[in-house]
Structure 1
């Protein structure tokens, strides 16, 4: 029955029709179990290849019984060669259709063209979402409120590639903020992460000795090369291009470092609930990554006054850093932007005109959705492409591109700067909201005036 449902969905090309088909089976509890086991990143089976097997009709077994038995693999009661034999016996006893379903579960690939986001729309909250703890924008009032309670932490606000490193049983899964896998080909930091206890590290990928703007591009190229090679594609030209522009491929991988600022248990990460105060988590993080070459804790200092907060911020700015974050010592981890975690970073809002739309990268869950827009000033002298759209915003923009083209969008950014060709550019642009009340965008001169007028204090 489950195999037939999968075939029905796989044979439909339309995402909406796939969801319509799946919704017909919303009461099917066995289907829900299969979907969860196959798509949940929390459940791992530690078997990298499906063993050869032959159907044995003399020892039949039902799929629901097998699903119960998979817990012995996921909790590592059965491991190594015993685990392979254990799985082989299950595969042999199932009907061919059910054996196919079990293969899909073990491979973590349903092959139906539906991601976690689409499945959760039919079965709400069935599969764990990726949590992210952000920061409130700068507010002198919020900072003073924290300081009135006692000393806080001030940490450098990193500007690398965000990463959640999930370590379970010596295996490492690196995910983006959105939950997409970050695949790299054997960098040193992966080996060091694999040596940690089971935990989840929140941090960013940077490159030692490489400026932050350049390192993000190099890491993205390394990630894309690894993904293409995993898909069986020839990456020779991509590696040659990287090496011609930057450095040898393996050298680039070996320069990657993880700079971390938080640590969670596996349960805390997947339930998105944590009651431990930040000072405890930070102390644990310092002990956990101590002594490793490629793992470190973000620059942190204790501050007791606004003067000390701003002194650290200005020091980071003088090093061409992005800014700082002030954190309460007793703050718990939350999947939100709590008032006890505040960005010290200049932010301005600009009204720019929408001139184009960009789909997400191929192979990601957003490849069929608009994930960024192109905007420019009224005189066309300032151009940028803000990101940071929510899932609902991506859905809406994808469906309304024609009517949104040419309208005014408010973006949030860290200020105006110049690119390598001395053209005006925008630092860290983020989508904020459509301005249906406006028909004229800011000119470049107006944007510069807004930037100059902005002040943290």
Structure 2
């Protein structure tokens, strides 16, 4: 019984059902923390979006998700997606600005990034720092938390299955106006661009990916907020990815000093026209073992890759390459023996930018 109660408190029943299921039998037994999930493009009905009004395209900063509550009495809480509180004493700048700049009776949604020596740290570094602080540690002298906000709703709608029937344009405008009243730098809005077509949205996504960012989230201007695990089709995650079939040309050994030294590390692949040549990292141990068992079964065969962009030749090379690529599968194609040419790769990328046939 003690172990069961412990799991209930932790919301970790390990019994094949969630806290929502428990609360159906005993309402309010386990605290639930509403959250609006986004969807992938295939679940969105873009033809119904008000593109002429301007759709919000926002950077997917991929930091540490956080709910910032500012209650009617002026108290502030920072909570993770699971509802775990963050130590307010370590987020003094964010808390002070929330009290001074954000309306009371609201919950602001955003994510925490970390400035290290004044520069936003990469996701892995920033999130590990926040995790360290959440576990009882402290920010170092050269580390500073930053809250990037993208939405705000009244606290009274923050309930399971809650909804807020105010369009995103109005919600985002209200958030901007609040932050404009009082200067500050620890609480900011997420970088945002207004786009008027799906193509513009994918172009913006591509621009950010070329900067090393993960992608974008686009939001319908009239879309409502609602607590949903299945995803809100008015909030869509974009990531430009196209596919191409390349021919396998040669094994590239793993670099000296790495775990794959002396074993296959990647494969040189190229288009049928020879105008694009890339080294693609071997996907997994199964694939590496297969290559070691016999290169002849792979050489000259065709494999599918996924990429984000086509890079022009460098001064030292006369061939194109792919940006952010990987094998889509760990085996050769048995239904195709001719690779795509560069023109076909460009067509696939163009289709992805237009939102057509983008892999989920």
Same fold (TM over 0.5): yes
Bigger RCO (CA 8 Å, 6+ sep): 2
Instruction: Tell me the CA shift for residue 202 of structure 1.
Output: 0.3
- Give the counterpart of 2:133 among 209, 222, 231: 222
Following the alignment from structure 2 to structure 1, what is the Cα–Cα distance between the partners of residues 44 and 222? 19
Question: Which residue of 2 is the match for residue 182 of structure 1?
Answer: 86
Question: Which residue of 1 is the match for residue 99 of structure 2?
Answer: 194
Is contact 1:116-1:127 (8 Å) kept? no
- Give the counterpart of 1:205 among 97, 100, 112: 112
SS in 1 for 2:41: coil
Instruction: Tell me the CA shift for residue 182 of structure 1.
Output: 2.7
Is contact 1:134-1:338 (8 Å) kept? yes
Larger helix fraction of residues: 1
Q: Deviations over 1:378-422 (max 9, x none)?
A: 61769xxxxxxxxxxxxxxxxxxxxxxxxxxxxxxx989xxxxxx
1:249 matched to 2:140: yes
1:262 matched to 2:168: no
Question: Which residue of 2 is the match for residue 142 of structure 1?
Answer: 45
Instruction: Tell me the CA shift for residue 250 of structure 1.
Output: 3.6
Q: CA 1:335–1:329 in structure 2 vs 1: closer, same or farther (change >3 Å)?
A: same
Question: Which residue of 2 is the match for residue 343 of structure 1?
Answer: 237
SS in 2 for 1:249: coil
Following the alignment from structure 1 to structure 2, what is the Cα–Cα distance between the partners of residues 279 and 14? 46
Question: Which residue of 2 is the match for residue 432 of structure 1?
Answer: none
* Higher mean displacement: 112-121 or 168-177: 112-121
RMSD of the TM alignment (CA)?
Answer: 3.6
Instruction: Tell me the CA shift for residue 328 of structure 1.
Output: 1.0
- Give the counterpart of 2:2 among 1, 13, 38: 13
SS in 2 for 1:338: coil
Question: Which residue of 1 is the match for residue 170 of structure 2?
Answer: 280
- Give the counterpart of 2:62 among 147, 159, 164: 159
- Give the counterpart of 2:211 among 313, 319, 342: 319
Q: CA 1:274–1:116 in structure 2 vs 1: closer, same or farther (change >3 Å)?
A: farther
Instruction: Tell me the CA shift for residue 141 of structure 1.
Output: 6.7
Is contact 2:55-2:194 (8 Å) kept? yes
Question: Which residue of 1 is the match for residue 15 of structure 2?
Answer: none
Following the alignment from structure 2 to structure 1, what is the Cα–Cα distance between the partners of residues 88 and 198? 41
Following the alignment from structure 1 to structure 2, what is the Cα–Cα distance between the partners of residues 445 and 249? 49
Q: CA 1:305–1:140 in structure 2 vs 1: closer, same or farther (change >3 Å)?
A: farther
Following the alignment from structure 2 to structure 1, what is the Cα–Cα distance between the partners of residues 77 and 154? 14
Q: Which runs of 5+ in 1 are unaligned?
A: 1-11, 19-111, 227-238, 240-247, 349-375, 383-413, 417-424, 428-441
Is contact 2:78-2:88 (8 Å) kept? no
Is contact 1:184-1:223 (8 Å) kept? no
- The correspondence of residues 40-189 of structure 1 with structure 2, limited to 5 A, is 114-115=8-9, 117=11, 120=23, 122-125=25-28, 129-139=32-42, 142-147=45-50, 150-168=53-71, 169-183=73-87, 185-187=89-91, 188-189=93-94
Instruction: Tell me the CA shift for residue 345 of structure 1.
Output: 1.5
Larger strand fraction of residues: 2
Q: Deviations over 1:284-319 (max 9, x none)?
A: 111222322201111122211223212211221122
Q: Which runs of 5+ in 2 are unaligned?
A: 12-18, 243-282, 290-305, 309-323, 334-338, 340-344
Q: CA 1:133–1:415 in structure 2 vs 1: closer, same or farther (change >3 Å)?
A: farther
Provide TM-score, normalisation by structure 2: 0.58
Find runs of 4+ consecutive structure 1 residues off by over 6 angstroms: none
Instruction: Tell me the CA shift for residue 320 of structure 1.
Output: 1.2
Provide TM-score, normalisation by structure 1: 0.47
Instruction: Tell me the CA shift for residue 206 of structure 1.
Output: 0.7
- The correspondence of residues 284-363 of structure 1 with structure 2, limited to 5 A, is 284-290=174-180, 291-336=183-228, 337-346=231-240
